[in-house]
Amino acid sequence: MELAPDAPREVRCPTCRHDVCTTYRKKQIREERRAASEAGREALKKRIGADNVKFALEDAESEEWISKNAKSCPKCNTPIQKSDGCNKMVCTAKGCKTYFCWLFGKRLDSLKPYEHFLQAGNGACSGMLYTRIGPDGALQQVPQPYMAPDVNRMLQQAPPAGHVPPKR
């Protein structure tokens, strides 16, 4: 997962006033630590500080996990993790609330988000509301233990009373 295009990548050390690219630096620290002997690891801690090494490693691991397990909201680029359920997603970032398809990242109509899963063609995911991409890259149906008997009828209904779609 990449930083947003307008996100700052450089930070200035308040002590020495040196500018550092944080994206590159984390990767550099991780690779340097991996390749180092125990003595080299201790020297790295002394050179840049044990906390800085720890934080760089944790950040690099988090970024790697996010890039493998999350997808970006098509509106605000917030990383979203799906743990269960259908492929209709709602971004929970403050003020966003964008509906999108988990499989292909397409923004969905906020008034009729399930319509995407009923339409054929035009990039729609007809019949793939409960589908996932397996480890081999193939689409797989997911068991739906709590699925209503007539899902198509349910999906075509208007949103429940009190449902407020996000502002566009």
**pLDDT tens-digit map of 32-50:** 888 989 998 888 888 878 8
Tens-place pLDDT, residues 131-166:
877 778 787 777 655 444 455 555 555 555 565 665
Residue 111: pLDDT over 80 = yes
End-to-end CA distance of the chain: 25
Over range 110-138, report the average pLDDT: 81
Sequence length of the chain is 168
Give 9's pLDDT tier (boundaries 50, 70, 90). Answer: low
Helix and strand numbers (H, E) in the chain are 4, 8
Percent of the chain at pLDDT > 90 equals 18
Helix (H) or strand (E) holding 89: strand 88-90
What gap in Å lies between CA 140 and CA 128, rounded to an integer? Answer: 9
Instruction: Report the catalytic residues.
Output: 86
Is the pTM higher than 0.75? The answer reads: no
Return d(Cα 161, Cα 156) in angstroms, integer.
15
Write down the domain spans for the chain: 10-71, 73-168
